[in-house]
Amino acid sequence: MSVGYLEKPATEDEKVIARLLEDAILGLNARKFRVFSKLFSDEAMITPAFGDGTPVSKEIYINQLIKSSSSILRYLLENVLIRVTSSSADVFARLCVFTLGNLSPRISERHFHFTKNGEIWHIDKSSRS
């Protein structure tokens, strides 16, 4: 399992968000980076898990993922906690990135802010927590 939860998603919205996160991790591990085109809103600002902490646009983020993919073995998302209000959600998680040549994963505590537009959930902000 590439995604582990602190609390099992219970409501329908939590289950939808959980499926989006699972699809994202599966896409990353399969090198299908365009899955992020649907996951992130067009206006999303994403702080990469590692680096100087400067938020970037969705397109820049996807390009960074593609460029770094040759050194990545696998991604895991652990300790996922989903909190939903009527039209937004906050997700807290630990991202583990296993890279070539390293015995231990690189770990980043993450916060994802989702908004709901109609019936569609998108991430509009992703940052380190």
Q: Are strands 40-46 and 106-117 parallel, antiparallel or unpaired?
A: unpaired
pTM of this structure: 0.91
Q: How many other C-beta atoms are found inside a 10 Å radius of the C-beta of residue 56?
A: 16
The range of the structural domain enclosing residue 13 comes to: 3-128
In order along its 129 residues, the chain shows pLDDT tens digits of: 689 999 999 999 999 999 999 999 999 999 998 888 889 999 999 998 888 889 999 999 999 989 988 999 999 999 999 999 989 999 999 999 999 988 899 999 999 999 999 999 999 999 987
CATH number of the domain bearing residue 47: 3.10.450.50
Cβ contacts of 9 within 8 Å, gap of 6 or more:
15, 17, 18, 82
The pLDDT of residue 1: 66
Task: Report the number of distinct structural domains present in the chain.
Answer: 1
Residue 19 has what pLDDT? 96
Neighbouring residues of 47: CB distance < 8 A, sequence distance ≥ 6:
53, 54, 55, 56, 126, 127, 128
From CA 76, how far away is CA 87, in angstroms rounded? 27
